[in-house]
Structure 1
Amino acid sequence: MGSSVRRKYETLDALRGVAAILVVLFHISHAIGVVVPNGYLAVDMFFVLSGFVIAHSYDDRLSGRGGWKILARARIIRFWPLVVLAAIICLLKALASEIVDSASGLPISIETSAIFASVFLLPLPVGGDNYLFPANVPLWTLALELYLSAAFALLFPLFVRRGLALTLLVSGIWLAALIANFGSNDLGASVSTFWGGVARASFGFLFGVVLCRSNIRLSVGPVLPVMLLVLFLAWPVPDEVRMIYDMAFVFVASPLIVMLGASSEPQGAQLRVAHYLGAISFSLYMLHGPIQGGIFAAGRVLGISPLSLAIVSLVVLLILCPLVDRLYDQPVRKFLRRILNSAEGARAPAG
Structure 2
Amino acid sequence: MVQKLVFLPRLESLRGLAAVSVVGYHASGQFTDTYVTGMAPVVLFFVLSGFVLARSLARNDDIIEFLRHRIFRLFPAAIATVLLLTALHEAFGFYHGFEPDFSPLNVILNALMIKHDINGPMWSMTVECFATPVIILSFLAGRRFGPRSLIPLIAILFGLSFVGPYAHLLGGYANLAPLHAFVLGVALHFSGRGLVEAIGGRQMAAAIVACILFFYCGLQKQTAPIIFLEACSSGLLIALIAFGAPQRGFRFLDQPVIGFYGRISFSFYLLHMIGLSIAVRISSIAGWPMLSILLSTVLGVLLTTPMAWMSWRFIEKPFIAMGKKWRDPRRGAVTTT
Q: Structures share a fold, TM > 0.5?
A: yes
Structure 2 portions without partners, runs of 5+: none
Contact 1:28 1:310 (C-alpha < 8 Å) held by counterparts: yes
Q: How far 1:144 moved relative to its partner?
A: 2.6
Q: What SS does the corresponding residue of 2:264 show, helix, strand or coil?
A: helix
In the TM superposition, 1:223-262 aligns within 5 A as 229=211, 232-233=214-215, 244-250=225-231, 252-262=232-242
Contact 2:23 2:300 (C-alpha < 8 Å) held by counterparts: no
1:279 aligns with 2:267: no
Name the count of aligned residue pairs: 315
Contact 1:51 1:209 (C-alpha < 8 Å) held by counterparts: yes
State which of 110, 131, 134 in structure 1 corresponds to 2:117. Answer: 134
Q: Counterpart of 2:99?
A: 105
In the TM superposition, 1:4-153 aligns within 5 A as 4-31=3-30, 33=32, 37=36, 39-59=38-58, 61-62=60-61, 67-98=62-93, 105-106=99-100, 108-109=102-103, 112-123=104-115, 133-153=116-136
Q: How far 1:13 moved relative to its partner?
A: 0.8
Q: Counterpart of 1:169?
A: 152
Fraction of identical pairs, as percent = 21
Structure 1 residues 95 and 9: CA distance shift in structure 2, 3 A: same
1:325 aligns with 2:312: yes
Contact 1:283 1:324 (C-alpha < 8 Å) held by counterparts: yes
Q: What SS does the corresponding residue of 1:6 show, helix, strand or coil?
A: coil
- Listed one character per residue, the Cα deviations across residues 226-269 of structure 1 (whole Å, up to 9, x for unaligned) are 99548733678566x9665444323x312111111213566698
Structure 1 portions without partners, runs of 5+: 124-132
Contact 1:23 1:39 (C-alpha < 8 Å) held by counterparts: yes
Structure 1 residues 330 and 37: CA distance shift in structure 2, 3 A: same
- Listed one character per residue, the Cα deviations across residues 91-145 of structure 1 (whole Å, up to 9, x for unaligned) are 12221344x89xx834542xx433221222222xxxxxxxxx1011222222332
Question: In structure 2, what residue type is equivalent to 1:88?
Answer: L
Q: Counterpart of 1:208?
A: 185
Structure 1 residues 40 and 292: CA distance shift in structure 2, 3 A: same
- TM-score, structure 1 normalization: 0.72
Q: Counterpart of 1:178?
A: 161
Q: Distance in 2 between matches of 1:91 and 1:222?
A: 47
- Listed one character per residue, the Cα deviations across residues 19-61 of structure 1 (whole Å, up to 9, x for unaligned) are 1111221122134558993621222221111111111121253
- TM-score, structure 2 normalization: 0.74
Q: What SS does the corresponding residue of 1:7 show, helix, strand or coil?
A: coil
Q: Distance in 2 between matches of 1:118 and 1:38?
A: 21
Question: In structure 2, what residue type is equivalent to 1:30?
Answer: G
Contact 2:29 2:36 (C-alpha < 8 Å) held by counterparts: no
Q: Distance in 2 between matches of 1:34 and 1:270?
A: 36
Q: Distance in 1 between matches of 2:29 and 2:253?
A: 34
Q: Counterpart of 2:243?
A: 263
Q: How far 1:211 moved relative to its partner?
A: 0.9
- Listed one character per residue, the Cα deviations across residues 305-345 of structure 1 (whole Å, up to 9, x for unaligned) are 8936554322111344234323442133224443xx13x24
Structure 1 residues 23 and 228: CA distance shift in structure 2, 3 A: farther
Q: Distance in 1 between matches of 2:262 and 2:80?
A: 19
Q: What SS does the corresponding residue of 1:191 show, helix, strand or coil?
A: coil
Q: Counterpart of 1:128?
A: none
Q: What SS does the corresponding residue of 1:5 show, helix, strand or coil?
A: coil
Structure 1 residues 22 and 45: CA distance shift in structure 2, 3 A: same
Structure 1 residues 121 and 244: CA distance shift in structure 2, 3 A: closer
Q: Distance in 1 between matches of 2:139 and 2:217?
A: 38
